[in-house]
Amino acid sequence: MGSTHIPVLLDEVVQGLIRPEYRLFVDATAGGGSHTYNILNAYPNLRAYAIDLDETALVAARERLAPFQGRVTLKRANFSELKQILGDEGILAVDAVLFDLGVSTFQLEGERGFSFKDTHALDMRMDQRQHQTAQQVVNSYTYEALKRIIAEYGEEWRAARIAAAIVAERRKTPLTSASALADVVAKAARRTGKIHPATKTFQAIRMEVNQELKNLATGLAAAIDLLAPRGRVGVISFHSLEDRMVKTIFKAAPELTVLTKKPIRPGRPEILRNKRSRSAKLRIAEKIYEAVA
Ligand SMILES: C[S@@+](CC[C@H](N)C(=O)[O-])C[C@H]1O[C@@H](n2cnc3c(N)ncnc32)[C@H](O)[C@@H]1O
């Protein structure tokens, strides 16, 4: 495995999400475990559940969190099932939940077709147990469906042209590698700035394969329900649709007070250190009372 995953907005999360009196923290997106590592390090009385649906992420997190054995429980699961996962452990309330959305460096640099340079299979599943892959989406979705996904999730104005190019190419040969898909997109949509012309299409296909917006809506609602009074939920997002969803869900929950009137963004030193942090936005909310069902 190549470079390690650099946690985004780390100090802001450690200081802004956790209060000293908290006892139970849930990392809904454990990844390589760095956020949890730093949180457990800073708050010696805290215990944590670290959840991820990707087996390779959990292997990395288990190694990273080994010094906290006894204080952390790792679970391979989808955060959309947060209530059930914690309920099975007899946990009905938690003090803080963190969602750090998107992909980790482990996933981007692995061989699962997350990156357009990858010559391996067009997979893009975060959870290897899941049935649907990017190859299936790209080769079986209608032109209309591809256009909608690329336009909506990719926020790509050239979606119609790209979807048409994919459909024309797959009639000749099915698209089976990430690099093949990237080539088709690059031919249909020429490079305009610094970013690769396939970046937005890849993001869109990945979000569809992993049902990222749907999972966020369910997972975030569950986290809010699970919070104990004075508990906090924090979300780091990298996509405007995700950020909008977080903002809307926070605003619509009368039991929450939003602590970040504007999202927290990384400063220039962090962006220079970690380019991936560029588009990150952190929103935090606190539960002020228990909603009555
Ligand atoms: C940006 S990484 C998190 C990095 C982590 N905060 C760290 O410090 O290393 C996002 C992680 O969320 C996981 N993930 C994405 N969607 C998920 C879901 N619905 N349920 C559980 N984990 C998910 C991905 O597999 C990935 O490992």
Over residues 92-120, the pLDDT tens digits come to 999 999 999 988 888 888 888 888 878 88
* pLDDT attached to residue 195: 81
Structure tokens at 119: 């010559």
**In CATH, which superfamily holds the domain spanning 10-106+212-287?**
Vaccinia Virus protein VP39 (3.40.50.150)
* pLDDT attached to residue 45: 96
Half-sphere exposure of 10 (CA within 13 A, CB side): 18
pLDDT tens track for 15-43: 999 999 999 999 999 999 999 999 999 99
- Distance from Cα 101 to the centre of ligand 1, integer Å: 6
Which residue from 8, 13, 25, 29 has its CB within 8 A of the most atoms of ligand 1, so it is best to mutate?
29
- Distance from Cα 110 to the centre of ligand 1, integer Å: 15
Is residue 133 within 6 Å of ligand 1 at its C-beta? no
Nearest CA to ligand 1 atom 22: 52
- Distance from Cα 23 to the centre of ligand 1, integer Å: 22
* Range(s) of the chain covered by CATH 3.40.50.150: 10-106+212-287
Do 101 and 2 contact (CB within 8 A), yes or no? no
Is residue 215 within 6 Å of ligand 1 at its C-beta? yes
Which residue from 59, 126, 203 has its CB within 8 A of the most atoms of ligand 1, so it is best to mutate?
126
The residue ranges of the chain whose pLDDT is under 50 are 1-2
* Range(s) of the chain covered by CATH 1.10.150.170: 131-209
- Distance from Cα 52 to the centre of ligand 1, integer Å: 6
* pLDDT attached to residue 292: 61
CATH of domain 131-209: 1.10.150.170
Is residue 115 within 6 Å of ligand 1 at its C-beta? no
Is residue 33 within 6 Å of ligand 1 at its C-beta? yes
141 φψ region: left (φ > 0), alpha (ψ -120 to 50), beta (else)? beta
* pLDDT attached to residue 108: 83
The pairing of strands 281-287 and 256-258 is antiparallel
Do 163 and 172 contact (CB within 8 A), yes or no? no
Nearest CA to ligand 1 atom 20: 78
- Distance from Cα 187 to the centre of ligand 1, integer Å: 32
Taking the CA atoms of 204, 210, 213 and 216 in sequence, report the sign of the dihedral they define. negative
Is residue 31 within 6 Å of ligand 1 at its C-beta? yes
* pLDDT attached to residue 1: 41
> Residue 71: which residues within 8 A CB-CB, separation 6 or more?
40, 46, 47, 48
